[in-house]
Structure 1
Amino acid sequence: MTDPSSGGLAEIIAARLIAALAPTQLDVINDSHHHSGHLGDDGTGKSHWTVSIESPAFQGLSRVQRQRLINTALADLLAGRIHALAIRARAPGE
């Protein structure tokens, strides 16, 4: 599920994660409204995100290894368009 008010960035995030990790469940949530006026708020309303993802690709991996896979898939977005990303990553059955 993605947030339609995010102006396409949620869809881009979702597409990247689907291509890289073939998730069985994926939620991309725009949390920017919670950070309005804070450091890192670029005024676009699209700077702070939460990703909740379940993927078989995470089986047997540590939390840090899972986050690295996600960060790799979103690297260029994290370098410019995304200020903060909260990650909830799990393997099926967890």
Structure 2
Amino acid sequence: MKIQNAIETKLNDAFDSRLLQVENESHKHSVPPNSETHFKVTLVSPEFEGQMKVRRHQAIYKVLAEELEGGVHALALHLYSPAEWEASGQAVPESPNCMGGSKKDPVMAARIARGEG
């Protein structure tokens, strides 16, 4: 939970968050148990009002640059202004299922099973 905690702390410090959810979705992917490589972030902040999605994503990438250069492989971002969040019905989209990746490669599957991912 070290990386997840860092993501939560950095985003809380950087944004006036009305809602922040950071979910570790690594267990849904071809990684060793207890990995912290795939995350879904839902963030509601007035700072996103009037911003295009690209600018919002860039702001998150800047704050989480260290994590993205390190062990984080995937980051699903769901970023809303408070008005957008209210209009959305306050439902976070489900992440798609892993398409298999290295699970289909017998050599990689064996490495993952041994925790060598």
Tell me which interval the TM-score lies in, with the shorter structure as reference length: 0.7 to 0.9
Give the Cα–Cα distance (whole angstroms) in 2 for the partners of residues 49 and 26 of structure 1.
13
Instruction: Please say if 1:82 is aligned against 2:72.
Output: yes
2, 8, 11: which one aligns with 2:5: 11
Query: Match for residue 45 of structure 2?
Result: 55
TM-score w.r.t. structure 1 length? 0.83
Gaps of 5+ in 1: 1-6
Counterpart AA for 1:54: V
Aligned to 2:50, the other structure's residue is in SS state coil
In our comparison, the structure showing a higher alpha carbon Rg is 2
State the shift of 1:85 in Å: 0.2
TM-score w.r.t. structure 2 length? 0.67
| Aligned pairs (5 A) from 1:36-47 | 37=30, 41=31, 43=32, 44-47=34-37
Stretches of 4+ moved more than 2 A in 1?
none
Query: Match for residue 26 of structure 2?
Result: 32
- For these two proteins, the number of residue pairs brought into alignment is 83
What value does the CA root-mean-square deviation take over the aligned residues? 1.1
Q: String of CA shifts for 1:12-38, please: whole Å, max 9, x gaps.
A: 101100111121100000000110x2x
Gaps of 5+ in 2: 85-117
